[in-house]
Amino acid sequence: MKDILTAPYMVEMIRTVTNMYNHGWDERNGGNVSMLLDEADVAEYLDTETAIREIKTGFSAPQLDGKYFLVTGTGKYFKNVQYEPEINLGIVRLTDGGETARLLWGFSDGGNFTSEFPAHMMSHAARLSVDPENRIIMHCHPSNLLAMTYVHTLDEREFTRTLWRMSTECIVVFPEGVNVLPWMVCGTNEIGEATAEKMLTARLVVWAQHGIYGCGRTLDEAFGLIETAEKGAEIYMKIAHLPILNTITDEDLHKLEERFGQKGREGYLD
């Protein structure tokens, strides 16, 4: 079989999490990423019938039964992934209606998948019901989006409108807006269920005082969504305390909708 470290999806995952760390989004062991894989792509590199061990997931996701995921590990630092991917990453196959994960590769130090695995899997299930091509769930802690949740109302419409007005590209990149959750305890099924519900109507979900979840068909799409929202939040945090002399108006945003063939979320523009 081929060397799993040469698989295009593995190369891209390592490159992306390294970039996330270099952006300052994933301090220490903060953040996690999961990628849905096709069985054919896994079978080129691994014996899909042989598991290293089985791990109970603590949740049920029947719609993901039999599916394969490349996922970051719990307690692992993104800065180390490029040097020791077989310790910091793992490939699992969900069985028993999602209640069991069969480890096929990785976590070679005896480690486990991210503590946010329930939130990832529930979000995968939600996004697949909206977009069957969705492959990526990405969670990280961008500083400016996190800071924004301390000083801005968490009303989703107002939060979205603020970001849209910070940069011309924002409404083009995430026309459905940004959904927001109030602070909740992380790593629980409860926050996983709440995030999945929000994922049904937007590809970006902000966790107040914590970070953000993004999704997409590719790593680039998910990364780019978060990157664009974070840039908007950065601009907001730089100008929020200053007199605003100019802005992008709702009329301007409607012009962007027309120019780029996008439609902002219903009811979010006057």
What residues act catalytically?
Answer: 116
SS3 state at 76: coil
CA–CA separation, 70 and 89 (whole Å): 7
The count of C-alpha atoms lying within 13 angstroms of the C-alpha of 235, restricted to the half-sphere facing its C-beta, is 16
* CA-based nearest residue to 127, from 219, 180, 59, 196: 196
- Please report which residue ranges of 74-186 form alpha helices under DSSP H: 78-81, 85-88, 117-130, 143-151, 156-166, 170-173
CA–CA separation, 167 and 145 (whole Å): 14
* Residues 6 or more apart whose Cβ sits within 8 Å of residue 249: none
CA–CA separation, 213 and 139 (whole Å): 5
Laid out side by side, the sheet with 211-216 consists of 53-56, 100-106, 89-95, 68-72, 32-37, 136-140, 211-216, 204-207, 179-181
* CA-based nearest residue to 10, from 80, 72, 67, 102: 72
